[in-house]
Chains A and B, each alone.
Chain A
């Protein structure tokens, strides 16, 4: 085990670990939402987080970029480590942390601005003033998100004119533009139709070579076809974690088996 001052040197199934949570507890006021989560997220892989509604998947995700800080009455205990950064250490700058950990939400929500302003938002926030550099990053991010060819000729138009699927890829590009290490995806396809879902899945698959992706999903097919690793959450705990093939085909825990096969536990 690494000491608290060092980068994570754990390896899971031969893959180095990019981020990890230890004994992570979360309360929203009096309700205990996460009850001692331990999790290793392998670098440049897709880790799916599955589980029943209300089991704490999204709350776990929001602990990784400290978005729970913004909710009144939320309290976190335990350790979250993103690479070499101890996320909840007193000296950690939360805004810098969030730049390293991007996020895509359930409903695509572009800002009511032009397409280009959406993509440069994170850069402007971070104080990147050079226009040339910003435009380079816009193109790179939009290409990675698979949106460049569709919007290259209308970058100045309002982002709200795009289709839902395009909007979600724009939000993805917006997150990529600040060059994070990790991307948190909170049911990113739940609002999309099958065709748009497929397109987004393709992009995510390709991005997994560059970023560490954490995918919260309700869709078991999606989890099994896209992810390299799967964490199964139940009642605020991760009860099973492993390579997706193993978890789906040969689960150790009965609750995992019941959930995956659709039986009541």
Chain B
């Protein structure tokens, strides 16, 4: 109301307009990534091109312009090696035969045959006739492919196969990071609250500075301090027999989690610090009047009451961690990990193992993929997945925080 009164009509419109623009931009970005991501799985029609030189080619059109189009033919040998560039002028006849079958091999190869022909010698995970599918069928195929993409394991190549290892790696990484950030950050915020003098100002300044350090710098710090420093020392003490093969002395989940913990510590500390200072001062007085020390007050009363702020801080930290790919590349993320860091083998969690990460998968699919016509759509699919993971984590934290807010509502007035 006060804001309204201070602004004239035009300014109100401008503010409202800009706010709507922001909202539209957010929805637009999410929508675009989701549409492009799911679009990667939409079943394309199979065309049969009869060229003027008499040859006949069966496949999917993956790119086109006024003069040429690019046809993906049966990948009989390997993925991404059977593209044919065709001049439109050379095409005598174009058909979409009803009996054209599109096959998907377990190794990622796509094969096209006419009905009755012998399917290629491959383990087939999907077989369909794209030209006779109804729209509903196509949606079903898209969803089935998306599900395979989410739940499927890695194959021999990093550019085909499912994202399950990357999702698991991302989640494990974030959880392990939270395990480091929460106690360390809470302790720092508690220190800031207990010491009000120059020491606190110094630490607060340091935390603010850390927040502005570029993430790649953290990667270098992690590489030097954790991988080469701590990791090699650990190897010398505990795995001397296996040397020179590194166990902890190369990048791995543990070091990546520690690096991300450093990276996200400022966000978390600031959030908890602010949460603590937002609590009514009289709460502390009430506790002190009952004979509690300031440490007891903090531990038994203020920190539990600052729960919502801690969750907010964790939410921000997780969001920042999911977005930081650059430092991970230095401390243990790989495009193709031979095994998950979590399995049924004792001790179940293997913190020294290298791991896969969704953020890195996006980069890898888009920039390192030898198949030029699959890279970008695969990158969008991975990006949509990353977005979904972050949104789900945020949603869970929000629900949790709102439930806690409910309990502490009376404190907010």
The listed residue (B196, B289, B296, B409) touching A67 by CB distance below 8 A is B289
Q: What are 27 inter-chain pairs, A to B, with CB distance below 8 A?
A: A65-B289, A67-B289, A70-B285, A72-B196, A98-B291, A99-B290, A99-B291, A102-B290, A103-B289, A105-B282, A105-B289, A107-B282, A111-B283, A111-B286, A111-B287, A111-B305, A112-B407, A112-B408, A121-B301, A122-B292, A125-B291, A125-B296, A126-B291, A160-B410, A160-B411, A171-B286, A174-B290
Binding site for A on B (CB under 8 A): 196, 280, 282-293, 296, 300-301, 304-305, 407-411
A63 lies within 8 A of chain B by Cβ: no
Q: A102: which of B289, B293, B305, B409 is its contact (CB, 8 Å)?
A: B289
A34 interface residue, CB < 8 Å from B? no
Beyond known contacts A95-B292, A122-B292: 18 more, CB 8 A cutoff: A67-B285, A70-B288, A72-B196, A96-B291, A97-B291, A98-B290, A107-B282, A109-B286, A111-B283, A112-B304, A121-B292, A121-B300, A125-B290, A125-B291, A126-B291, A160-B407, A174-B290, A178-B291
A124 at the interface (CB under 8 A from B): yes
Contact of A105 with B286 in the complex, beta carbons under 8 Å:
yes
Q: Which residues in B have their C-beta under 8 angstroms from that of A125? A: 287, 290-292, 296, 300
Closest CB-CB distance, B294 to chain A, in whole Å? 8
Complex contacts, A158 vs chain B, CB 8 Å: 407
Contacts of B284 in A (CB 8 A): 70
Query: In the complex, what residues of B have CB within 8 A of residue A107's CB?
Result: 282
Contacting residues, chain A, for B296 (C-beta < 8 A): 125
Of listed B284, B289, B410, residue having the most chain A CB within 10 A:
B289
Residue A204 CB within 8 A of the other chain: no
The verdict on A112 contacting B411 (CB below 8 Å), with A105-B286, A125-B300 known, is yes
Residue with the highest number of chain A CB atoms closer than 10 Å, among B196, B284, B293, B410: B410
User: Once bound together, how far apart are the Cα atoms of A175 and B287, in whole Å?
Assistant: 10
Return chain B residues, CB-CB under 8 Å to A174: 290
Q: Is A219 on the interface with B (CB-CB < 8 A)?
A: no
Q: How far is the CB of A193 from chain B (nearest CB, A)?
A: 17
Chain A residue at smallest Cβ distance from B305: A112
Binary contact readout A78-112 vs B (1 if CB under 8 angstroms, 0 otherwise):
00000000000000000111110011010101011
Q: How far is the CA of A175 from the CA of B409 in the complex (A)?
A: 24
B283 touches A109 (CB 8 A): yes
Contact (A122, B286) CB under 8 Å given A112-B407, A112-B411: no
Residue A113 interfacial (CB < 8 Å): yes
User: Contact at A95–B280, with CB atoms within 8 Å?
Assistant: no
Say how far A181's CB is from chain B's closest CB, in angstroms. 13
Cβ of B249 to closest chain A Cβ, rounded Å: 47
Pick the most buried of A111, A171, A174, A175: most chain B CB atoms within 10 A of its CB.
Answer: A111
- B408/A160 in contact, CB under 8 A: yes
Closest 4 CB pairs of A and B: A160-B410, A99-B291, A122-B290, A103-B289
Please, which residues of chain B bring their CB within 8 A of the CB of A112?
304-305, 407-408, 410-411
Cβ contacts under 8 Å, A124 to chain B: 300
Which A-chain residue is minimally distant from B404 (CB atoms)?
A112
Smallest Cβ-Cβ distance to A126: which chain B residue: B291
Q: Nearest Cβ distance between residue B50 and chain A, in whole angstroms?
A: 77
Question: Nearest chain A CB to B265's CB is how many angstroms away?
Answer: 26
Bitwise, A125-149 to B at CB < 8 A (1) or not (0) is 1100000000000000000000000
- Nearest residue (CB) in B for A111 is B301
Minimum distance in angstroms from A105 CB to a CB of chain B: 6
Are B290 and A105 closer than 8 Å at their CB atoms? no
Shortest beta-carbon distance, B156 to chain A, in Å? Answer: 55
The answer to whether A160 and B286 touch (CB under 8 A), given A95-B293, A99-B291, is no
- Check A122 against B304 for contact (C-beta < 8 Å): no
Report A235 CB to chain B, min CB distance, Å.
25
Determine the residue in chain A with the shortest Cβ distance to B307: A112
Q: Which residues of A contact B282 (CB under 8 A)?
A: 105, 107, 109
From A99, A109, A124, A174, residue with most partner B Cβ within 10 Å: A109
- Whole-angstrom distance between the alpha carbons of A109 and B301 in the complex? 13
| Distance from A232 Cβ to chain B, minimum over Cβ atoms (Å) | 25
In the complex, residue of chain B having the shortest beta-carbon distance to the beta carbon of A158: B407
Q: Is the CB of A175 within 8 A of B196?
A: no
In whole angstroms, what is the CA distance A103 to B271 when docked?
A: 32
Alpha-carbon gap, A178 to B196, bound state (A) = 30
CA of A147 to CA of B296, assembled, Å = 27
The residues of B that contact A70 with a CB separation of less than 8 Å are 284-285, 288
When C-beta atoms are compared, the residue in chain A nearest to B406 turns out to be A158
Chain A residues within an 8 Å CB radius of B300: 121, 124-125
Residues of A within 8 A of B301 (CB): 111, 113, 121
Q: Which residues from chain B contact A96 at a C-beta distance below 8 Å?
A: 291
CB distance from A56 to the nearest CB of B (A): 18
B287:A121 contact, CB within 8 angstroms: yes
A94 to B69, CA, bound (A): 86
| Chain B nearest Cβ from A124, distance in angstroms | 7
- Across the interface, which residues of A come within 8 angstroms of B280, CB to CB? 109
- Cβ of A109: which chain B residues have Cβ within 8 Å of it? 280, 282-283, 286
